[in-house]
Structure 1
Amino acid sequence: MAISILASAGCGSESGAATEKSVDVSKFDTGSYPTKPQDPTTTDPAKRARLIEGLRLGDVLPVASDIDSTLVRNASSTNVFVEPYDFDDMINVDHFADDAPGFTVGFATSGRPAKDPFLGYTLTNAVMIFDSEPAAATAAAALVRRGFWMADKGAQVEPVQSTQHAGAQMIWAPTEQRFASWYPTGRFVIFTMVDQIENRVVEHDLGVPPEPAPLALTDKAIDITLDRLKTFQPTPSDKLTALPLDPDGMVRLVLPRPAGDQTANGFTGSLDHHGALHTVGDTAMYRALFDKTGVDSFGYGGGILVRTKDETAAQYFQDTAFVSRFQHQIAPPAGLPSARCTKYHGPDEHAAPFTCTVSFGRYVATVVSQQQQDAYQRISAQYAILANSK
């Protein structure tokens, strides 16, 4: 399971930063992790290119709170997806290859009003890129016929028509309280789903027509997404592999992801300050923090690397972003006293037990692990990579 490291935050804490000159990276225990920057390579150029295209898309798409300001809690388990099964909690992917030939990549974001997933409703908004306009139109029609992921369980589904977006293909599942739309535009398909979880849980309002709330919200999501897509030019299919592997130099500096590792959102790449909002817990809080500290890029690998405007901003980010009442501080790894390491004691059964953070210059790094020693080795190696990049 991908772990969102920036899921929660609290007030600032007392800084334990040490001067860089007092640290001897040659004495670190880094295990088998590398300690120097590595230019990214790939054994699958086509798949890697699709991933980079998806991250480019994420940098422009709205987060849920851009569509409805009350949806400040990130509810995404998946952001960028190059395979349909990465998005199978939202759409029926059993016949995706037949239904959606020409699919390139997608990016999804999701939000709800509260940390409790059973309060209010969840909005999921995604864009899928196809290799041609006809492929996108064909896919939208096929996917709406296939319906929700639980369609094979016999869920009742009714068609809905938008007066604002005649080309949108929409369905409403009253017993499930789910409303979904597939809207083809150019090489894109905009997928929007409103999941009225609280209604379903308390079993009221079942069967009420989706007008006005889910339909009006979906129309708004489509309009805002269309406006953002004006700034995005999809890469021609035959040019995808020419996309740079490390467009802003962050991937070479982030700790490489070990084979099979699914921490730090489960992908390797970078997002800009807006794109990174799709991956954090409280988008309103982090938007303000990004602005205050001048964050311009996030790198994702075997941890997360954040680039701020300067050293002071990086230290403030570290002291602010990674504080939670469920994180109890433990000793830092040997030789790296400025690292802040914690062990999780709280209600989230999916939370990684151990987290370590550290700042270096204008960068802030964070890693998580199931094992304390592995967390120590990861943060030590990440610090060494930054120190050796000078």
Structure 2
Amino acid sequence: MVFRAGRSSRVRLRTVVCVGLAVMVVGSAGCGADSGDSEQAVDLGKLDTGSYATTPKDPTAADPQARGRVVEALRVGNIMPLGSEVDPLLTHNTDVPHVFLGKNSFSGYLNVEHFDADTPGFVSGFATEAQAPAESGRYSLDNAVMIFDSESAAANAAEALARTGFDMKDEERAEVVSLQSNQHPTAHIIWSPKKQNLAAWYPTGRFVIVSVINQAEEFYLQSYWNAPPAPAPMALADKAIEVTADRLKSFQPTPPDKLTALPLDPDGILRLTLPRPEGDRTANAFPGTLDKHGALHKADEPEVSRALFDKTGVDVVGYGAGELVRTRDHAAARTYFDTAFIDKFQHRIDSPPGLPNARCVKYHGPSKSAFPFTCHVTFGRYVASVWSQQQQDVYQRISAQYAILAKSK
């Protein structure tokens, strides 16, 4: 969850809102926001916000059924275990967790060509991925929960998905074998010795727990660099199923005909989050919210972020065209802002015109998937982050996000 930026040239924010004929943000108390030290005034009328929204707005759904499925998946994300809660060595999240409603299945190791045909009654799913560091062998666990409209649909889908199996060439499929778990005998499990991949589909109630273990890199590191052996893949799959199934005991799935009644903004943060424009593919997020635990699935190092969440009282995060973190209070937001965004590959650039409070960075590093530009800003108890391929766009996003927060007072 924590996006990291250069720590040099720290900007300490002291924000209080006042509204007059010209909307300004000035450093004085008594205007309906947390009091703080004096800082440069922000004239919202002079911010370049492009075509982005600049006022708070309660979220709506053009497709209430689809949005209800997304909300249901995010509810599951809030109770799903972190990788480190399955195996303490899985300390790094390696992919953006995401909601999936169909063929955009969660794991690149699995064949999704027949996903829709294999999963009648599928509602939605939430997936995460965690990895052990190189010194521990660098094996990974993809873990997901799929929700179905009935127990029979879940059981049938688990069997069908296991038959479809891995995404591999036909000649490679011949060496894939089926395995049996003594601990979870109803799980459908396949193993590829050549690829060092194991996948398990475990139906339980209206859910299917899907756990995919990849040890290809671990196999290489162990063979050539004497890395310690990873846990046996079957044992790791059993543990993932066990821990996830235990968490699901506290989750009550929504009846399919009630999905549209799920609140879109149960914590009141999404109305303050910069909405994602229709068709936007810039932000690797999703429209919705995750609670304190759920948001840790988005953290590079979730245990580090957990400590920061505890210290600053983070309780919920909103996701739209970026993300909005709600902390305990104004002082906690400043602490979060000054602590969270650290990355040696990100270097400070100028703040957007008219918004000196924002901290913006440009990425210079090895990742080909990293967004080049990121900006952060704090306001009251909130800390906002946005990212983009274009510098002007990231400036407009953070300026619009700031305006939304300023106008919420």
TM-score bracket, normalised by the shorter chain, equals: over 0.9
> SS at 1:386's partner residue?
helix
Match 1:301 to one of 308, 320, 323: 320
> SS at 1:181's partner residue?
strand
1:197 Cα deviation (Å)? 2.5
Match 1:83 to one of 91, 97, 102: 102
- Whether 1:356 and 2:352 are equivalent positions in the alignment is no
CA distance in structure 1 between the aligned counterparts of 2:15 and 2:60, rounded to whole angstroms: 33
Amino acid at match of 1:15: V
Structure 1 alignment gaps of length 5 or more: none
CA distance in structure 1 between the aligned counterparts of 2:222 and 2:87, rounded to whole angstroms: 24
- Whether 1:17 and 2:13 are equivalent positions in the alignment is yes
1:377 Cα deviation (Å)? 0.9
Q: Give the conservation status (yes or no) of the 8 Å contact 2:15–2:379.
A: no
Residues 56-71 of structure 1: pairs in structure 2 closer than 5 A? 56-71=75-90
- Whether 1:262 and 2:258 are equivalent positions in the alignment is no
What is the match of residue 370 of structure 1? 389
1:265 Cα deviation (Å)? 2.9
Q: Deviation digits for residues 363-389 of structure 1, max 9, x if unmatched?
A: 000111111111111111101100101
Q: Give the conservation status (yes or no) of the 8 Å contact 2:2–2:305.
A: no
> SS at 1:298's partner residue?
strand
1:8 Cα deviation (Å)? 4.3
Residues 1-390 of structure 1: pairs in structure 2 closer than 5 A? 6-8=2-4, 14-20=10-16, 21=26, 22-87=41-106, 89-114=108-133, 119-150=137-168, 152=170, 154-155=172-173, 156-201=175-220, 204=223, 213-390=232-409
**Residues 131, 13 of structure 1: CA spacing in aligned structure 2 closer, same or farther, 3 A cutoff?**
farther
Percent identity for Structure 1 against Structure 2? 57
Structure with bigger gyration radius: 2
1:200 Cα deviation (Å)? 4.9
**Residues 152, 385 of structure 1: CA spacing in aligned structure 2 closer, same or farther, 3 A cutoff?**
farther
Amino acid at match of 1:14: R
Q: Give the conservation status (yes or no) of the 8 Å contact 2:137–2:221.
A: no
> SS at 1:265's partner residue?
coil
**Residues 383, 290 of structure 1: CA spacing in aligned structure 2 closer, same or farther, 3 A cutoff?**
same
Structure 2 alignment gaps of length 5 or more: 17-25, 27-40
Size of the aligned set, in residue pairs, is 381
Q: Deviation digits for residues 233-274 of structure 1, max 9, x if unmatched?
A: 000001111111111111111001122223443311110010
1:91 Cα deviation (Å)? 2.4
What is the match of residue 33 of structure 2? none
1:117 Cα deviation (Å)? 12
Please report the RMSD computed on the Cα atoms of aligned residues, expressed in angstroms.
2.3
**Residues 9, 229 of structure 1: CA spacing in aligned structure 2 closer, same or farther, 3 A cutoff?**
farther
CA distance in structure 2 between the aligned counterparts of 1:174 and 1:121, rounded to whole angstroms: 14
> SS at 1:141's partner residue?
helix
CA distance in structure 2 between the aligned counterparts of 1:271 and 1:166, rounded to whole angstroms: 33
TM-score (norm 2): 0.88
